[in-house]
Amino acid sequence: MTKLNLSSENCIECPIRHRAVCSRCDAEEMITLETMKSYRTYSAGDVILWRGEPLEFVASVVSGVANLSKTLEDGRTQMVGMLLPSDFIGRPGRTHVEFDVTATTDVTLCRFERLPFERMLERTPHVAGRLMEMALDELDAARDWMILLGRKSAREKIATFLDLLARRGTLNGDVGQISLEFPMTRDQIANFLGLTLETVSRQMNALKKEGLIAFSGRKKLDIVDLIGLRQATGDDADGGLII
């Protein structure tokens, strides 16, 4: 079940304001966006969009985590990506949804009607440019995802996942201790990374014993040694996989 959130939150005060597609909008453009936006909250497990249905809106993830997946004809489902706060859902110019989008945790979206949003893009090149940047970042993330699923060990997968959360939760390049709200259960992480629950627990506990991470509650994770964690991802200094 979905619940409509009637919050009248001002765009200027939005927690993803400086990372989202609207990050370069001026005051006049923000007013325009206000006229076409609405907030909607989905409970964990809700399907936000079904593959193949008409794309009536595009959206920015304000809070929570969602996943992108595609179901094959025989019923097998492949998860192809994860959506975190500030990520964009939908493709302007497309009329139908390309992937199933499901709420992994409770998710709040800032939704824009697709057609008015597309017309706005024609008038605001820098917003279109920001959307292009985000699309290219998503392409890079998809390539990293292929490496993660296809070549990395269980330890490297867990370390890469935690590093991703750290990068998305830190804007100033801090390499000290980082405290994060942990958005997913270990079972959800296992499904996301193609591992078993037991493997996720074993690897998380190993990283804890090595002093790379610490837990400060059921939903809180401290990354104690970010440099050490990144070394555990299996990537070299340039971000490529060490073979």
Shared-domain flag, residues 172 and 80: no
Shared-domain flag, residues 119 and 21: yes
Residue (of 77, 64, 20, 47) closest to 181 by Cα position: 64
83 assigned to some structural domain: yes
Which of 4-18, 150-164, 176-190 reaches the highest mean pLDDT?
A: 150-164
Shared-domain flag, residues 38 and 98: yes
Question: Which CATH number fits the domain that encloses residue 142?
Answer: 2.60.120.10
Q: What is the pLDDT of residues 68-112, one digit of tens each?
A: 988 877 877 777 788 989 999 998 889 999 999 999 889 999 999
Query: What is the pLDDT averaged over residues 8-18?
Result: 75
User: 88 pairs with which residues across the strands?
Assistant: 60
137 assigned to some structural domain: yes
Shared-domain flag, residues 134 and 196: no
Please state, in angstroms and rounded to a whole number, the distance separating the CA atoms of residues 159 and 219.
18
Q: What is the pLDDT of residues 120-175, one digit of tens each?
A: 888 888 788 888 888 888 888 778 777 877 789 999 999 998 988 888 765 444 55
Examine the fold and report which residue of 103, 126, 148 is the final residue of a domain before the chain moves on.
Answer: 148
What is the per-residue pLDDT for 166?
Answer: 85
Shared-domain flag, residues 121 and 171: no
What is the per-residue pLDDT for 5?
Answer: 43
Q: What are phi and psi of 154, to 5 degrees?
A: -60, -45
Shared-domain flag, residues 114 and 178: no
241 assigned to some structural domain: no
**Under 8 Å CB-to-CB from 222, ≥6 apart: which residues?**
177, 178, 179, 180, 213, 214, 215, 216
What is the per-residue pLDDT for 1?
Answer: 39
Assigned token pair, 191: 């499904």
Q: Are 186 and 215 in contact (CB under 8 A)?
A: no
Examine the fold and report which residue of 103, 119, 148 is the final residue of a domain before the chain moves on.
Answer: 148
DSSP state of 11: G
Shared-domain flag, residues 74 and 92: yes
236 assigned to some structural domain: no
Shared-domain flag, residues 144 and 168: no
Residue (of 48, 12, 9, 37) closest to 27 by Cα position: 12
239 assigned to some structural domain: no
Examine the fold and report which residue of 129, 148, 167 is the final residue of a domain before the chain moves on.
Answer: 148
Shared-domain flag, residues 107 and 30: yes
Query: Kind of pairing, strands 100-103 and 66-71?
Result: antiparallel
Q: What is the pLDDT of residues 20-55, one digit of tens each?
A: 888 888 888 888 888 889 999 999 999 999 999 999
Whether the model clears a pTM of 0.85, i.e. scores above it, the answer is no
Shared-domain flag, residues 140 and 186: no
Length of the chain as a residue count: 243
What is the per-residue pLDDT for 171?
Answer: 44
Question: Which CATH number fits the domain that encloses residue 199?
Answer: 1.10.10.10
Q: Say how many domains are in the chain.
A: 2
Residue ranges making up the domain that contains 196: 152-231
Tell me: pLDDT of 241 over 70.
no
Please state, in angstroms and rounded to a whole number, the distance separating the CA atoms of residues 208 and 155.
12
